[in-house]
Amino acid sequence: MVAVGVLALQGDFAEHAAILRRVGADAREVRLPADLEGLDALIIPGGESTTIARLLALYKLIEPIRAFAARRPVWGTCAGMIVMAKRATDLDQETLRLIDIDVVRNAFGRQVDSFETDVAVDEIEGPPVHAVFIRAPLVRAVGPGVKVLGRLADETIVAARQGHLLVTAFHPELTEDTRLHSYFISFAGGPGK
């Protein structure tokens, strides 16, 4: 069984853990550096990126997660994507700087701060993914090693991958669709590969 950690400092970690269990992974909550031991992959959930980034520093998780991400898959959803980005606007905290993207926080503005739409995601078979956006960030630019996996109709980048590092601006954990979780754990050699 693939052991997948979910960073459980703040945000919707319980929803990720529930889907991971449905797709047959051993989901474990991560709050301290020692909790990374024995994990095959890690998810950083949605929530509030300022809070998550502050708690990462407080619990001395930044360097351990960087070391983990050098060898193992990590996926950030929404706030988790912000925390994984090399560059984030409007964030006065250090990020993990794992993936070579520029993100803009709260990019969709107050009028449409939450919305749902279908996004065709490369590498996910079948119909488009129903994507839930909640005060979501967008990806403004990606570095040369980053593959764009999904865009909105207006071309805004909302899913990308750099090797085994995955980011989505939306929240697959808030839907019944388990395909993205299966796809992610396939990076760790789990079911779906």
Identify whether 171 is a catalytic site residue: yes
What number of helices (H) and strands (E) belong to the chain?
5, 12
CB of 106 to ligand GLN, least distance (A): 5
Alpha-carbon dihedral angle through residues 121, 39, 20, 42, given to the nearest 10 degrees: -40
Q: How would you classify residue 153: left for phi > 0, otherwise alpha for psi between -120 and 50, otherwise beta?
A: alpha
Specify whether the CB–CB gap between 9 and 56 falls below 8 A: yes
How far, in Å, CA of 168 to CA of 78, rounded?
6
Whats the size of the chain, residue-wise?
193
How far, in Å, CA of 172 to CA of 129, rounded?
8
Cβ-based burial of 144 (10 A; exposed 0-12, middle 13-18, buried ≥19): exposed
Identify whether 181 is a catalytic site residue: no
Identify whether 78 is a catalytic site residue: yes
Residues making contact with ligand GLN (CB under 6 A): 46-49, 78-79, 82, 105-106, 134-135
- Residues with a known catalytic role: 78, 171, 173
